Amino acid sequence: MKRLLLLGGGHSHVEVIRRLGLQPPRDTRIVLASPDRYTPYSGMLPGFVAGHYDFHGCHIDLERLCKTAGVEFRECHAVGIDPAANRVDCSDGSALDFDVLSINIGSTPAAHDVPGALDHAIRVKPVSTFINTWNSILEAGKHDGAPLRIAVVGGGAGGMELALAMHFRMLAGNRTAAIHLFTDTPTILPSHSSGVRRIFERVLEKRGIAVHPRSKIIKIERGVLFPESGEPFHAEHIVWATAASAPGWIAASGIQTDERGFVAVNDALQSLSHPRIFAAGDIAGMVNHPRPKSGVYAVRQGPPLAENLQRALSGKPLIAYTPQKIALALISTGDKYAVAVYGVIVLEGKWVWRWKDYIDRRFVAAYRADAR
C-alpha cells in the first residue's frame, strides 16, 4: 500500500481531494494533514471582516470533504520535513510517513525581520488566528465603544482590502475608527496600473483612511509602530499584511527553494531536488513561470497537481503545466463594491462585487460535501 500525504488544505488540495475521491488511486492510503478542520477561502476574508459572510460561508470543511472522498484527515501543524526518511514532523511530536508528498500550506506575511512584529502585530495569516483576534476586537468594541485607531501595514491588494473592510464594519457597528494604511512603497498597489491606483486612492480618501507611503516599519512595540523615518505612531491594533513569505523549516529541511524560500518546482509542480515531493499554491515557486502569490494560481494548479500525483503514484510520466500570464483580480472596497482588473481592462461597480460574490460562493460551495 502506497502512502500519499497531502500537507495543508489550501486551494489546490481541495480540488486534489475532490478529484482523488472521484478516481481513487489503486492501493493507496491518502492522508490530508492540516492544523485546522476548516480552511478559509481568502478571497472572501475581506468580506468576512466587513460582515458580508459568516464563518461557514467563507470556509471549507476539510474533514467532511475528506470523508466524502475516502481521504484520512489528520490534525497536524507541520514543523519540519525529513525528505531522506520520507517523513513530516508535526508540532505535537507526531510524525507522518509518505511515499509521495504534496505541499499546499500557503504563506504568511513576512514579519520575522521586523523586531516586535510577531509579538505585537496581528498577522492576517494564519487566517484562523486573525479571525479570532478580529472577533475579539469587535466584541470588546460592543462594550466600551471608545474610538479606535487601527494601523494596517501592507499597501498591496490584501492590506488595502482589509483596511477598507474594517472601516466599513466599524461604521456599520456605529463605532468611530481611524484607519491608517502604511506601505514602504511610494504608492499603494505598487504592482497595479496607475488607473487602478487612482480608483483606490479616491476610495480611501473618501472614506477618510489615511495612507502613509514610503513608511517602512522597522520595529513594533506594544501599540506603537516605528517607521524608518518619521515619528513613532500609536495604534490600539496593528494588522500585518505585508508580502508573502515561506516558513523557514522548508529551506531547513534541505528541499531546494527559490531565492525567497518557497519550494522550487518544475512545470510538473515537482520539487527540483526531491522528485517524490510536489508543491502548489503560494508555497511553490515555479522556476520557469514565476507568478504573483495569488489564490487564482493556487486554484488553477489543483487539476494538474491531481493528475501528476496520480501519475507519480503509478510511475507514469508527468504532465507539464503552464500558468496563465494574466489573471483576473477582483478587489473589493468593503461596501459591496469592487474593481475588476484584467490586464489593461479596469471596470468597477456594485455589479463587479456581485460577480465576485457569485464566483467566490460558487468556489466554496463546490467543496461542500452535501453539494455532490
In the complex with ligand FAD, which residue's Cβ is closer, 15 or 307?
A: 15
- Among the listed ranges 30-38, 208-216, 318-326, 343-351, the one in contact with ligand FAD (CB under 6 A) is 30-38
In the complex with ligand FAD, which residue's Cβ is closer, 87 or 226?
A: 87
In the complex with ligand FAD, which residue's Cβ is closer, 61 or 282?
A: 282
CB of 301 to ligand FAD, least distance (A): 8
Interface with ligand FAD, residue 15, by CB under 6 A: no
> Which among 261, 260, 300 is positioned nearest to 280, based on CA atoms?
300
- Among the listed ranges 18-26, 94-102, 209-217, 295-303, the one in contact with ligand FAD (CB under 6 A) is 295-303
Q: Which of 39, 183, 245, 333 binds ligand FAD (CB under 6 A)?
A: 39
> Phi and psi at residue 245, in whole multiples of 5°?
-135, 160
Interface with ligand FAD, residue 167, by CB under 6 A: no
Question: What's the number of CA atoms in the CB half-sphere (13 Å) around residue 272?
Answer: 15
Q: Which of 89, 282, 307, 348 binds ligand FAD (CB under 6 A)?
A: 282
Interface with ligand FAD, residue 43, by CB under 6 A: yes
Whether omega before 304 lies within 30 degrees of 0, making that bond cis, reads no
Q: How far does Cα 75 stand from its chain's mean position?
A: 19
In the complex with ligand FAD, which residue's Cβ is closer, 11 or 237?
A: 11
In the complex with ligand FAD, which residue's Cβ is closer, 226 or 336?
A: 336
* x-marked contacts with ligand FAD along 121-160 as a string, rule CB under 6 A: ---x-x-------------------------------x--
Interface with ligand FAD, residue 105, by CB under 6 A: yes
10 Å Cβ neighbour count for 22?
A: 10
> Is the CB of residue 233 less than 8 Å from the CB of residue 180?
yes
Task: Give, as ranges, the residues between 171 and 230 that touch ligand FAD (CB under 6 A).
Answer: none
In the complex with ligand FAD, which residue's Cβ is closer, 45 or 340?
A: 45
Interface with ligand FAD, residue 104, by CB under 6 A: yes
Strands 177-182 and 122-123: unpaired
Interface with ligand FAD, residue 253, by CB under 6 A: no
Interface with ligand FAD, residue 21, by CB under 6 A: no
Give the span between the Cα atoms of 13 and 203, in whole angstroms.
36
CB of 201 to ligand FAD, least distance (A): 19
Interface with ligand FAD, residue 245, by CB under 6 A: no
CB of 315 to ligand FAD, least distance (A): 27
Interface with ligand FAD, residue 162, by CB under 6 A: yes
Q: Interface residues with ligand FAD (CB under 6 A)?
A: 7-12, 33-36, 39, 42-43, 45-46, 77-78, 104-106, 124, 126, 158, 161-162, 241, 281-283, 293-296, 298
